[in-house]
Amino acid sequence: MIVLVQANVLTVGLGDKNEALQELPLRLIAMSSGSEAARSLKNERVDSVISKWDLDDMKNGLFLKRLKAVKPEIPTIVFIKAGDQAQEIAARSSGVCAVLTEDTTDEFFQTTVANVLGLKGIVSIRTISPAESEKSRYEKIAK
List, for residues 30-44, the tens digit of each pLDDT value.
Answer: 999 999 999 999 999
Name the nearest CA neighbour of 91 among 126, 61, 48: 61
What's the whole-number average pLDDT of the chain?
85
Q: Please report, for the chain, the start and end positions of each structural domain, with discontinuous segments joined by +.
A: 7-140
Q: So what's the pLDDT on residue 14?
A: 95
- Other CB atoms within 10 A of residue 84 CB: 15
Kindly tell me if the per-residue pLDDT of 48 is higher than 50. yes
Number of H helices, E strands in the chain: 4, 7
Domain 7-140 has CATH 3.90.1150.10: no
Q: What is the 3-state secondary structure (H, E, C) of 22-36?
A: CCCCEEEEEECCHHH
